[in-house]
Structure 1
Amino acid sequence: MHILVTNDDGPPSDQSSPYVHSLVSSLQAAGHTVSVVLPHTQRSWIGKAHLVGKSVRPSYFRPSPLTTSNGRLSNTGTTHTRPLPSSSTDEEWVLVDSTPASCVQIGLYHYFKERGPIDLVISGPNYGRNSTAVFSLSSGTIGGAMEAAVCGFKSIALSYAFFDRNHDPTIITGASALSVKLVEHLHANWDPTTHLYSVNVPLVEDVGSRKILYTHMLQNTWRSGSCFQPIEVPEGEDEGPAEAEAAMRKAEEKQGIRELTGESVPNSGRETPLQSHVRYTHKHFKWAPHFKDVYQSVEESEPGNDGWAVAHMNTSVTPLRANFMHSGQQEGEIKL
């Protein structure tokens, strides 16, 4: 197959994108032609957005050979402002200063024509799970796959659910090997009513021997109030998206340890509302969602959903359609 790979974590990096090089190498080793277009930096939680009114500029990433060093897979390479000459056989990936959905559009229609038609788009592997509605509806990984689906291409959103962040190369390699087999199976047995699949692979030992389950997406909500915390910060001192994403992954790692040990999730409660004698209090707001809402909804759910499957160290495969399906049976004219 000719497979287009994108993600929302950016080019290979131990800190923000530790899995994409492993997947690309595993797909290539299985005989597939792999073309890669990634955001030039981390773009998590951006959904299927495009940056309207902004021109998109490519750069070119040349990954170093994938090796193991100091107990980790290498995630190195060099970035260049101009592509290699057409005569070169060196591997080169395209980076664009935009979103995963934009990467898909540019990869599908503006590069790689000489490699033949694209058979499948894979968005990921995401650095962390994309299970349940709360995570999935904002996921840049799923957003990239959704963009491919609305362009008429088969697509898979792939996420690696970590339970600790030691990036064990054996576990990552095992997850990529399983992912390749699963991708091949889904493509060969594609359900005609499905536009895309959301797949969550747990990063655990011998993941290939664990169950792979078709699941539905758990419908959950933010139950503990606002996802933003009022703060007082001087202008110019806000933390960037990379720092915010790192904090989220740290919280996810703590939850992974709880899932491994059976420890319950603490309930921190709601924030105390600010009191003021003026119309508005001028504040800054920091993105600080209560991730315990997600984990508690999974603990309280019945078996069969994506969150439950991942929490029990199984791979979840959730068939999706690229639309907001209507609900209910309401029909006809509304008269007021």
Structure 2
Amino acid sequence: MATTMFHQAVGTLHSHGYIGNSTLPQECGNVSMRLITRGFKLEIGQLKRERYSSKKTSCGSIRASSSNGTTKDPTKKPSEAALILIRHGESLWNEKNLFTGCVDVPLTKKGVEEAIEAGKRISNIPIDMIYTSALIRAQMTAMLAMTQHRRKKVPIVMHDENEQATAWSQIFSEETKKQCIPVVTAWQLNERMYGELQGLNKQETADKYGKEQVHVWRRSYDIPPPNGESLEMCAERAVAYFKEQIEPQLQAGKNVMIAAHGNSLRSIIMYLDKLTSQEVISLELSTGIPMLYIAKDEKYIRRGSPAAPTEAGVYAYTKNLAKYRQKLDEMLH
């Protein structure tokens, strides 16, 4: 069955329990978040929504709950939040020029250096929550980047596989909780699944199937590789997750970082920048280069890649970011 083939290809997700998990009110400091993960079924080249499942967890006292159904107070001043997007650093299969997709491959030494450099670029930007894909290269990138942040808060991965995992990950120090940033892993942010191309050398694949055919599989919007996902199918899950889970956090004034992959991030940028299906296929994202957006008045303003931390240009993004950096300067000097 196509469903079986799909889940086998994304086997790393099963081992970590990311497929089928769903509504997760979790406990994480003072940060509010509610997670919904979806199950999808691959059927005749289309991902169809299969079901919603529900599970309630808590993680120490890190509280995470938020809903799309909140009513807005017309007298309340519009909130402003920073949104940082980072494509993971170079992976071992990037280095080998292999199709990676949903195969769980770590970073190279160069990838580690890229992640650290990305962290320096965002070291003066507030971060309240982190979202990553379920794949290690994205998670490594997020964690390494946070080692460079001047606020020195510690990213804590939320585990909700079962009651024991939840109980064992509790934090019993109120002071420590204040110095934590919740990290939510979601398979919907994974790279698009390349099907039968995964693990193949890109040049050898072009030699076998023809350069034009491989280009169609890699760069068209709605044509998937054999038993894989098209960009359109990847966008369906990635954008749905962003709108349902991440956007409410931004609207509530939470500053968010997303560490993910070329195609899942292209999908989200397509939504943020209102790109057409033709415009998004030509969008290229470099590994380890952060992109900053300002979320305000239910709009997204692209601010480009943050400058190096020593450059004064970071003050020009918004008054709020300038004030945050000033507080960091006062706190750390």
Work out whether the TM-score is over 0.5.
no
Give the TM-score normalised by the residue count of structure 1: 0.25
Greater RCO, CA 8 A, separation 6+: 2
Q: Work out which of the two has the higher radius of gyration on C-alpha atoms and give 1 or 2.
A: 1
Larger helix percent: 2
